Amino acid sequence: MLCIIGTVPDPDFPLVTGPVKMEKGHIVIEGRRVPVNRGTPALLAAALAAAACLQVPPIHAWLVGDIGRGDGSRRLYADMEQRLDRFPWTVLVFHYLQPDVDWHNRVLFAVEEMNKRPVMIADAGFMYAAKMSGQAGAYDLFTPDAGELAFLADETAPHPFYTRGFILHEEGRVPELIKRAYSYENAARRLLVKGETDYLADARGVLETVTEPKSAALEAMGGTGDTLTGLAAALVASSMEVSKAAILAARVNRLAGSLANPTPATQVVEIVERIPEALARLL
């Protein structure tokens, strides 16, 4: 059972946990509707779109409102610390949360208390905290973009904002940065690096790449990384092995993007709508 943990950009959105569904372009949880724009709602929408084509138990979410002040994230962290071990989740995705090393470590301790260790996927702010904590190896999958990979590869940077200039990403240097990230133990067991080429890697190096179809406009679009993580999560929740799920997610995301015929002004919900078709073609 998959649970997706993150924030929505509404300061009044309460702390909620429960099954989530899609309804007319919105995700719905505990009777509350959230538009699919980008961030965790986009990740959820992609996971739900994929789950509709897969044998996946109901997807749950653990959400709170946070517009960057960190107050909502801290309430969510505290709730996870208290209650995480009561749930039967087998796949956890940690997403847009205020990066905070201390809270990250408390959540990791709470995971250790669960009956069975879940598959753990991290992206966005929680991935930043995981790297900075020195606990990246506790995760099964990180889904950085090339810039975030440069941050993982920079052993001194506490946030992508401080990635040193000599290490700043260039698409051609991705294999080198992957190697560097692993050498400093700042990468999860597997990395799915999204970009002009998508790379699946582990500590041995690059395992596989996905280059087609190409849609240059996707880089400018907000939320395409979120959909990729959501796809990978849904596929893992369908009992697919993590590496296989990551590569298939990359292919589906690129195809869904291509089917949307995107421009830099395309909104991510248009890609989400194409996921069932892309998944059906590639399964």
Partner 1 sequence: MALLSFFKKKPTKPDSSFAGAQGADRGILIFENTSEVIAAENQLRSQGWRIRVMGPPPEIQRGCDLVIEFPLIEELEILRQLEAVGTPPLEMVPVTGPLLQPVGLFQTVDYGDWLMVRAANMKICIEKGSGVIVNISGGGCPDVPYLAQEMVGKTLSAAPSPRTIGHTLCGYALELAYQELKRQCSAS
Binding site for partner 1 (CB under 8 A): 7-9, 37-41, 66-70, 72-73, 96-102, 104, 123-129, 132, 145, 147-148, 151, 156-165, 168, 216-217, 219-225, 263-267
How many angstroms separate the Cα of 278 from the Cα of each of 49, 70, 98, 170?
A: 11, 36, 32, 29
Indicate the residue among 45 and 248 with the shorter CB distance to partner 1. 45
Looking up tokens 């699946």 gives 200
Other residues' Cβ atoms within 10 Å of the Cβ of residue 241: 10
What is the closest distance, in whole angstroms, from the C-beta atom of residue 74 to partner 1 in the complex?
A: 8
Helix axes 224-237, 40-51, angle to 10 degrees: 40
Q: Closer CB to partner 1, residue 233 or residue 248?
A: 233
Comparison of 268 and 278: residue with beta carbon closer to partner 1: 268
Query: Which of 221, 275 has the CB closer to partner 1?
Result: 221
Secondary structure (3-state) at 235: helix
Q: How far is the CB of 153 from partner 1 (least distance, A)?
A: 13
Tokens of 161: 């904002």
We find the least distance from the C-beta atom of residue 221 to partner 1, in angstroms, to be 5
- Give min distance, CB of 56 to partner 1, in A: 25
Q: Which is nearer to partner 1, 106 or 189 (CB)?
A: 106
CA angle 225, 78, 144 (to 5 degrees): 15
If residue 49 lies in a helix (H) or strand (E), which one and from where to where?
A: helix 40-51
Q: What would the two tokens of residue 38 be?
A: 């980008």
Shortest reach from residue 113's CB to partner 1, in Å: 22
